[in-house]
């Protein structure tokens, strides 16, 4: 089958979903009001609450939620063949992710820009809130630790990408200053920044002395540098420290100084990257060499497919971003459809090209099965397979493969870095909320809370030795990410449903995807905790994952019971927001 058909079908479904389904949800279910005074205007502080044009905010939201996950998840899920991954991405985007991201944004805007954690207290109760915050903390901690390793690994593998990535930071700060202090337009400077980044990518691809290759600087992979660390481990250490120091400043600066302009540039990067890859696809029109379905014996696709592909179908992390940073910048409530739902569609388009890039990378099905010999091999090689597959597509528009690889790496790292510092900012919010809850004032200080977030993330990355060597400690917990993330999505949909019910609205459109996500996630988590990590199955016991996974499973089940008790309770109290 020719891969172009997948792109055509996917784009038609996404377009219909945005044009008709999101319009219906906006008008009949969420009932957006153009005159509603959003928190960005009501609490405008120039730091976190900043009214922002919807195109710029879409750039922030899109690039914050995109990260590496909508690329990596589908690239791994190809293990079960491209058919199940394709169906879940297009249907999940339209009927689950769009409603979820859009809904958490509206819910937060209607409640002072508060986060999902705080809203759990208001809608379900204080006990559920604390249980929920625990799950969120584990989730963002994993994101921080693993994304720091992923970016460091890409810097080590593709040193030509380093300068184009770092050159974006001063340009973004300059754009933020020019736009907010001198009232300049953002579009042209952003496009210039993009040209500078890609121009430098061409130079660094062709001129080795411009490649920041730390392993070479440290004398090679086998050279012992310091404290028994060889060249590769020392490189990981240096890059991880640099990244976390950067994140400290990026997550404490006012959003307009770095976060907004950088995310706006990144949104253009993604658009340019997607145009580049889809144009290459149309020129090359490659056949799908991966099988439509792949018979495997070690890990069943049901229910793990729905956990493996999170971003690009539905992801709880999106609700954290929507209610954490995006809701505080929404200019008009009616912008929520464009920012929230269309952000999900953008992710779906990214996940779709990830499927196509990997499914057309291999010469034949035999080569595919050799590369995807088991689930572990699929997980380990997913990102490299995407980069090589995407570079292969880009050659269709006459971009040399080495330059294409650098540009694709720049795009991937840019989004992973955006997710990383947004995740650290969210962790700061959560730590501050916990400080407020227990009246421990030092934690409510922005710099103290950020320091706690940075230090705990660094400790998880560097102190334990992870399965991928030094610096990969976050991977010890990573098997919990998929289920924790999807539990978060289910709870967010449940909160939206409770809120809609309290408003006397139709909650069918959030309730149905919620039931599906909870069913798949709890089923997958039960299988992993009981049959995989406990040692009762064919695999060895992993007590860390068994205990932590068991705690998260119990907490999630507890939250669901608390929420359903509230949900089906006869509520005689007036709606939370009587202005609706």
**Residue of higher predicted confidence among 271 and 519:** 519
What's the pLDDT score for residue 426? Answer: 84
pLDDT tens by residue, 339-376: 999 999 999 999 999 999 999 999 999 999 999 999 88
Residue 242 covered by a domain:
yes
pLDDT tens by residue, 217-272: 998 888 888 888 899 999 999 999 999 999 898 888 888 888 878 888 888 888 88
Q: CA-CA distances (angstroms) from residue 436 to 159, 429, 430?
A: 43, 10, 10
pLDDT tens by residue, 372-393: 999 889 988 888 899 899 989 9
Residue 575 covered by a domain:
no
Most confident range (mean pLDDT) of 89-98, 135-144, 465-474 is 89-98
Give the 3-state secondary structure of 520-544. HHHHHHHHHHHHHHCCCCCCCCCHH
> Mean pLDDT across the stretch 476-496?
88
Most confident range (mean pLDDT) of 140-144, 173-177, 228-232, 508-512 is 508-512
Give yes or no for residue 570 having a pLDDT over 60: no
Element (H, E) at 230: strand 229-230
96-116 CB burial, b ≥16 within 10 A, e <16? bbbbbbbbbbbbbbbbbbbbb
Q: For residues 64 and 134, is the Cβ–Cβ distance under 8 A?
A: no
Give yes or no for residue 185 having a pLDDT over 80: no
What's the pLDDT score for residue 381? Answer: 85
User: What percent of the chain has pLDDT above 70?
Assistant: 98
Residue of 98, 106, 122 whose CA lies nearest to 21 = 98
Domain that holds residue 23: 3-463+470-568
Measured CA to CA, the distance from residue 309 to residue 355 in angstroms comes to 11
Residue of 30, 58, 50 whose CA lies nearest to 329 = 50
> Mean pLDDT across the stretch 551-578?
73
Residue 579 covered by a domain:
no
Residue 578 covered by a domain:
no
> Mean pLDDT across the stretch 520-531?
90
> Mean pLDDT across the stretch 30-56?
92
How many separate domains does the chain show?
1
191: its two tokens = 């496009």
What's the pLDDT score for residue 340? Answer: 95
Measured CA to CA, the distance from residue 36 to residue 578 in angstroms comes to 12
Give yes or no for residue 541 having a pLDDT over 50: yes
Q: CA-CA distances (angstroms) from residue 192 to 186, 197, 266?
A: 10, 9, 12
Give yes or no for residue 505 having a pLDDT over 60: yes
> Mean pLDDT across the stretch 45-67?
85
Residue 47 covered by a domain:
yes
Q: For residues 330 and 260, is the Cβ–Cβ distance under 8 A?
A: no
Residue 346 burial class via C-beta count within 10 angstroms: exposed 0-12, middle 13-18, buried 19 and up: buried
> Mean pLDDT across the stretch 267-284?
90
Q: For residues 351 and 87, is the Cβ–Cβ distance under 8 A?
A: no
Q: Please, which pLDDT band fits residue 439 given cuts at 50, 70 and 90? A: confident
Q: Count CA atoms closer than 13 A to 558's CA, side-chain side.
A: 16
Q: For residues 7 and 281, is the Cβ–Cβ distance under 8 A?
A: yes
Give yes or no for residue 143 having a pLDDT over 50: yes
Give yes or no for residue 556 having a pLDDT over 60: yes
Collapse the DSSP code of 225 into the 3-class scheme (helix H, G, I; strand E, B; otherwise coil) and give the result. Answer: strand
What's the pLDDT score for residue 26? Answer: 97
Q: Please, which pLDDT band fits residue 406 given cuts at 50, 70 and 90? A: confident
Sign, CA dihedral 493-497-498-502, equals positive
Residue 573 covered by a domain:
no
Residue 576 covered by a domain:
no
Cis peptide leading into 303, omega within 30 of 0?
yes
Query: Average pLDDT, whole number, for the chain?
Result: 88
Residue 499 covered by a domain:
yes
> Mean pLDDT across the stretch 404-409?
86
231: region left, alpha or beta (phi > 0 left; psi from -120 to 50 alpha): alpha
Give yes or no for residue 451 having a pLDDT over 90: yes
Collapse the DSSP code of 218 into the 3-class scheme (helix H, G, I; strand E, B; otherwise coil) and give the result. Answer: coil
Q: Which residue has the tokens 């939370």?
A: 576
Measured CA to CA, the distance from residue 90 to residue 105 in angstroms comes to 21
Q: Please, which pLDDT band fits residue 578 given cuts at 50, 70 and 90? A: very low
């Amino acid at each position: 089958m020719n891969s172009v058909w997948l792109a055509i079908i996917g784009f038609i479904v996404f377009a219909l979903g945005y044009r008709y389904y999101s319009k219906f949800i906006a008008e009949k279910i969420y009932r957006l009001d153009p005159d509603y005074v959003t928190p960005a205007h009501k609490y405008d502080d120039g730091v976190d609450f900043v009214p922002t044009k919807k195109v710029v905010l879409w750039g922030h939201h899109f690039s914050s939620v995109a990260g590496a996950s909508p690329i990596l998840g589908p690239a791994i899920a190809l293990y079960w063949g491209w058919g199940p991954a394709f169906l879940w991405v297009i249907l999940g985007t339209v009927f689950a992710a769009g409603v979820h991201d859009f809904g958490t944004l509206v819910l937060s805007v209607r409640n002072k820009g508060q986060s999902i954690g705080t809203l759990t207290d208001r809608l379900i109760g204080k006990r559920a809130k604390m249980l929920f915050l625990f799950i969120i903390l584990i989730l963002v901690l994993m994101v921080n630790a693993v994304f720091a390793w992923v970016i460091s690994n890409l810097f080590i593998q593709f040193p030509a990408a380093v300068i184009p990535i770092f050159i974006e930071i001063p340009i973004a700060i300059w754009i933020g200053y020019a736009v907010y202090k001198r009232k300049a337009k953002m579009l042209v400077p952003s496009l210039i920044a993009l040209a500078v980044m890609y121009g430098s990518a061409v130079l660094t691809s062709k001129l080795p002395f411009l490649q920041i290759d730390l392993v070479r600087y440290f004398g090679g992979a086998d050279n012992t540098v310091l404290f028994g660390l060889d060249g590769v481990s020392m490189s990981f250490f240096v890059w991880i420290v640099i990244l976390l120091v950067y994140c400290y400043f990026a997550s404490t600066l006012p959003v307009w100084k770095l976060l907004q302009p950088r995310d706006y540039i990144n949104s253009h990067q993604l658009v340019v990257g997607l145009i580049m890859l889809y144009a290459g696809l149309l020129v090359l029109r490659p056949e799908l060499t991966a099988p439509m379905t792949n018979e495997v014996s070690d890990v069943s696709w049901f229910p793990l497919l729905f956990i493996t592909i999170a971003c690009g179908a539905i992801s709880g992390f999106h609700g954290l971003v929507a209610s954490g940073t995006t809701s505080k910048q929404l200019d008009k409530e009616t912008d929520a459809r464009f920012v929230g739902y269309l952000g999900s569609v953008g992710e779906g388009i990214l996940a779709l090209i990830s499927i196509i890039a990997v499914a057309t990378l291999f010469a034949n099905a035999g080569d595919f099965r050799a590369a995807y010999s088991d689930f572990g091999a699929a997980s380990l090689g997913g990102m490299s397979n995407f980069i090589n597959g995407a570079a292969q597509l880009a050659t269709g528009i006459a971009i040399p493969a080495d330059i294409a690889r650098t540009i694709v790496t720049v795009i991937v790292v840019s989004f992973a870095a955006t997710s990383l510092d947004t995740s650290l900012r969210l962790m700061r919010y959560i730590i501050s909320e916990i400080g407020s809850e227990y009246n421990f004032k030092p934690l409510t200080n922005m710099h103290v809370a950020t320091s706690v977030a940075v230090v705990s993330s660094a400790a998880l990355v560097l102190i334990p030795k992870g399965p991928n060597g030094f610096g990969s400690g976050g991977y010890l917990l990573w098997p919990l990410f998929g289920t924790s993330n999807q539990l978060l999505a289910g709870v967010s949909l449940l909160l939206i449903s409770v809120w809609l019910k309290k408003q006397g609205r139709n909650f069918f459109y959030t309730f149905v995807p919620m039931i599906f996500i909870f069913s798949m996630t709890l089923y997958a988590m039960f299988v992993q905790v009981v049959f995989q990590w406990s040692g009762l199955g064919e695999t060895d016991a992993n007590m860390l994952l068994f205990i932590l996974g068991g705690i998260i499973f119990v907490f999630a089940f507890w939250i669901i019971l608390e929420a359903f008790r509230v949900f089906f309770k006869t509520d005689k109290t007036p709606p939370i927001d009587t202005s609706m």
